[in-house]
Amino acid sequence: MLTVHHLNNSRSQRVLWLLEELGEPYEIRRYQRDAKTMLAPPELRAIHPLGKSPVITDGDVTIAETGAIVEYIVDKAGGRLRPAAGTPERLRWTFWLHYAEGSLMTPLLLKLVFDLMPQRSPVLLRGLVGAIATRAKAGFVAPQLKTHFDFLEAELGRAQWFAGAEFSAADVMMSFPLEAGAARAEALEGRPRLKAFVERIHARPAFRAALEKGGPYAYA
Ligand SMILES: N[C@@H](CCC(=O)N[C@@H](CS)C(=O)NCC(=O)O)C(=O)O
């Protein structure tokens, strides 16, 4: 049986959602973030040395990294939620599968780090650290995020889903950075197509089912 090693409030929510969309059988093993550091517990390292979520096991196979997990599950489901090879939709699908974690998450992570830096600094240094963080965000992170979100808003002008007219696993992959972008960086403000996309995915029965199984999720 395929097991999702599910860290609360994390990217593994996407994997549960994909499995629900495909109707593939799975079980969940749950892990809780440390309340103070928000890091995963050490037990997750026993499953995979990186100790990150998501990670899945399926018989002898252990897979980390959401994009690799998505490809494995889609293969297992006979290629459903993936456009046919050799089509323009398939090229777009592959692009979004890599882009979500490879490009879009980077400035979002930087935003999170710079947002947290002042409060995690020694009290006497907070003012200075805050000023440095504000400068880095204004000078580098915010323009990067604007470029990405404007690009995404334009891309959704071609079709309502990222790979084309049909919903696909690429939309599942793109959900997390867009939800994080909405929560941390006002990604949906003034971007009606991104807002409509997030509303559309939240309305899907499989998305709701995955939320019930996965537990509270701060980005949805
Ligand atoms: N690019 C990786 C990122 C994995 C990742 O950073 N996961 C976070 C959860 S959203 C995590 O495990 N955080 C806890 C920790 O780093 O200890 C993927 O998509 O699987």
Question: In this predicted model, what pLDDT tens digit does every residue of 176-205 receive, in sequence order?
Answer: 999 999 999 999 999 999 999 999 999 999
Ligand 1 near 52 CB (within 6 A):
yes
* DSSP letter (8 states) at residue 108: H
Least confident of 5-14, 189-198, 211-220: 211-220
User: Which residues partner with 56 through β-bridges?
Assistant: 4, 63
How many whole angstroms separate alpha carbon 167 and alpha carbon 157? 15
Judging by beta carbons within 10 Å of its beta carbon (0-12, 13-18, 19+), is residue 70 exposed, middle or buried? buried
pLDDT tens digits, one per residue of 36-53 = 889 999 999 999 999 999
Name the pLDDT band for 220 (thresholds 50, 70, 90): low
If you measure from the C-alpha of residue 38 to the centroid of ligand 1, how many angstroms do you get, rounded to a whole number? Answer: 11
pLDDT tens digits, one per residue of 97-139 = 999 999 999 999 999 999 999 999 999 999 999 999 999 999 9
pTM metric for this prediction: 0.96
If you measure from the C-alpha of residue 16 to the centroid of ligand 1, how many angstroms do you get, rounded to a whole number? Answer: 15
With the most atoms of ligand 1 within 8 angstroms of its CB, the residue from 6, 7, 11 to mutate is 11
How many whole angstroms separate alpha carbon 12 and alpha carbon 2? 14
What integer best gives the mean pLDDT of the chain?
96
Are 25 and 1 in contact, with CB atoms under 8 Å apart? yes
Helix (H, G, I), strand (E, B), or coil: what is residue 134? helix
Residue with the nearest Cα to atom 9 of ligand 1?
10
Range 150-168 average pLDDT: 98
Ligand 1 near 66 CB (within 6 A):
yes
- One-letter identity of residue 95: F
Name the pLDDT band for 216 (thresholds 50, 70, 90): confident
If you measure from the C-alpha of residue 124 to the centroid of ligand 1, how many angstroms do you get, rounded to a whole number? Answer: 31
Ligand 1 near 10 CB (within 6 A):
yes
9: number of Cβ within 10 Å: 18
How many whole angstroms separate alpha carbon 220 and alpha carbon 217? 6
pLDDT tens digits, one per residue of 53-106 = 999 999 999 999 999 999 999 999 999 999 999 999 999 999 999 999 999 999
Are 119 and 126 in contact, with CB atoms under 8 Å apart? yes
Name the pLDDT band for 217 (thresholds 50, 70, 90): confident
